[in-house]
Amino acid sequence: MSKIIGRALKKDDFVEMPDDHIIICRCEEITKGEIRRAIYEGMYTMNEIKRYLRVGMGLCQGQTCNKLVKAIVAKELGLDMKDIEIPIPRSPARPIAMKAYADDGYMR
Amino acid sequence: MINAEVIIVGGGVIGSSIAHYLAKNKVDVLVLEKNDIGSGASSRNGGGIRQSARDLREMPLAIHAVKNLWPYLSEELGVDVEYHQKGNLRLAKNNQHLKVLEKIVEHGQSVGLDLKMIDGDQVKELCPFVSHEVIGASYCATDGHGNPMTTTLGFYKRARELGARFITGESVKSLIIKKGKISGVKTLENIYEAPIVIVASGLESRSIANTAGIDLPMQKVMLEALITEDQSPMFSQMIGTAASDFYGHQTEHGSFVFGGMTGLEPFDSQEENAVTRNIAAPSICRAILGYFPFFENVKIIRTWSGFLDEMVDHVPVISKVEEVPGLILACGFSGHGYGISPAVGQLIAQMIVEGQPSISLEAFKYDRFKPRV
Ligand SMILES: Cc1cc2nc3c(=O)[nH]c(=O)nc-3n(C[C@H](O)[C@H](O)[C@H](O)COP(=O)(O)OP(=O)(O)OC[C@H]3O[C@@H](n4cnc5c(N)ncnc54)[C@H](O)[C@@H]3O)c2cc1C
């Protein structure tokens, strides 16, 4: 079950940080600043950040950046890392060509 | 206990759209969502924004949304919803397919939709990648597609900026009725009060409505979808087929999103959760390759599924409930609610703020379902 989270607006303005330019999601080239801003704009879960920015939707499917994103969410929202759920992994584990996927024995 | 003027149950694209248009009208609105924003069908759909092949009852909403709302939505929300109005091609490979499409075209033209039949050569001109087996298509130039995830979260973000309150992780268990009127909702741990409650909870709308003694002929259907690796820009139309075996489009970042039907729905799955099964993606792939051989070596990077809240007549319920003043239902979008979501939000807000929506919602009443005899 998800935890109850209120989504009230932050009172303070968004504050830029010196390391905001660092790329966190390498597949989709998304920076720490973009992720921090998305959180500021109300994207409080890893799933929402993924859907909003495409973090973890590239070829590696978040295998590289999930941990880094989690740490940013924890810091920005003052949460414990263990309370943050990562997005559900999706099949296939590695990219598969369409003709291989199509060939499961039921032929046309 | 928390109070509001309006409570919306469900933070999908429908609930978030309603919240946006209500907050824009300065209504104090509270959205309760049991998971996170957009975790239901709204983040799992194919992104099709079409008027063609819709039930005539839905047509005024779809035409209004395409004409007056979608083109300005990114600007209004401050989030790119990736709306592209580059037409919808529904492909045919044989005469039986053509017959299906001719009906759809006749139907659409009867309400003035810019929808026509085109031949194989014209299809190739619009979309050079189709197989030589394609002999024709229906073409609606004003249809298009968008990004359902940024649309849903965009409505949420803007509504929040305009003062709407959202609480996630709150699962509504029942409606509260006092002296014959709605007075709020009960969750596992809390009570929320409001004189108006809108149920926009997708599939679960039925069981929530049941707690007020209202039932809806709605069932669960699981549908699957997949996405490819990025490709350079190939074509911009939304694609469907007369055989209804697959549909899809190229997204702004280059991937193709495809969905499809095995033909065994809704009887092939009683899954509790939106899982992917091993028969669906291969079936979708075979369907795609039958129309677009080009994709043979294009890689699939992700598959997923989602549930439809299918009404018996495939048309949603967007309606006040007369027996329970204050209760409004907005559910049962039956697999095509994304395309009309801005219109639904706007019209429900008008219903509450102005007492009357600017387009009639009479056809979507909750009590239209009658036994045959
Ligand atoms: C694979 C697939 C492809 C599709 N393709 C298209 C398309 O191309 N074009 C199109 O127009 N439409 C399409 N659709 C349909 C479209 O996705 C839906 O009609 C639309 O998203 C419905 O939005 P909603 O907000 O009503 O439902 P949902 O997005 O399901 O939202 C309902 C929300 O209510 C929440 N909720 C449920 N119960 C409770 C509770 N008890 N308490 C609190 N919250 C609760 C859920 O968690 C959920 O977030 C497709 C659907 C699927 C599954």
Query: Coil, strand, or helix at residue A89?
Result: coil
Rg (CA), chain A: 17
Fold of B2-62+148-217+313-369: FAD/NAD(P)-binding domain (3.50.50)
| The pLDDT of residue B237 is above 90 | yes
Residue A58 lies in a domain: yes
- What's the CATH code of the domain at A58? 1.10.10.1100
Query: How does residue B205 score in pLDDT terms, banded at 50, 70 and 90?
Result: very high
Residue range B121-169, pLDDT digits in tens: 999 999 999 999 999 999 999 999 999 999 999 999 999 999 999 999 9
Predicted complex ipTM: 0.96
A95 CB-contact burial (10 Å; exposed 0-12 / middle 13-18 / buried 19+) = middle
Chain B residues closer than 8 Å to A98 by CB: 228, 285, 288-289, 295-300
Assign residue A18 a region: left if phi > 0, alpha if psi is -120 to 50, beta otherwise?
alpha
Tell me if chain A has a CB within 8 Å of the CB of B253: yes
Q: How many CA atoms lie within 13 A of B8 on its CB side?
A: 36
Distance B118 CA to ligand 1 centre (A): 33
Tell me if chain A has a CB within 8 Å of the CB of B153: yes
What per-residue confidence (pLDDT) applies to B1? 74
Mean pLDDT of the B173-198 span: 97
Q: Which helix (H) or strand (E) is B17 found in, with range?
A: helix B13-24
Number of structural domains in chain A: 1
Please tell me the pTM assigned to this model: 0.97
Q: Dig out the tokens for B19 from the structure.
A: 């919240």
For B284, nearest residue in chain A (alpha carbons): A102
Residue A29 lies in a domain: yes
Distance B160 CA to ligand 1 centre (A): 20
Residue A48's domain comprises 23-102
Instruction: Give the other-Cβ count within 10 Å of A25's Cβ.
Output: 26
The CATH number of B88-141+219-311, from 3.40.1190.20, 1.10.3470.10, 3.40.50.150, 3.30.9.10, is 3.30.9.10
- Which of the residues B166, B285, B288, B296 would you substitute to probe the A interface, choosing the one with the greatest number of A C-beta atoms within 10 Å? B285
Assign residue B12 a region: left if phi > 0, alpha if psi is -120 to 50, beta otherwise?
beta
Residue A10 lies in a domain: no
Distance B337 CA to ligand 1 centre (A): 8
Same topology between domain B2-62+148-217+313-369 and domain B88-141+219-311: no
Residue A17 lies in a domain: no
DSSP assignment string, B216-230: --EEEEEEEEEEEPP
CB contact under 8 A, A43 and B290: no
Instruction: Report which residue type is found at B259.
Output: G
Chain A residues closer than 8 Å to B303 by CB: 90-92
With a pLDDT cut of 90, the percent of chain B lying above it is 95
| The pLDDT of residue B362 is above 60 | yes
| The pLDDT of residue A1 is above 60 | no
Residue A28 lies in a domain: yes
Residue range B23-63, pLDDT digits in tens: 999 999 999 999 999 999 999 999 999 999 999 999 999 99
Q: Could you tell me the residue ranges of all domains in chain B?
A: 2-62+148-217+313-369, 88-141+219-311
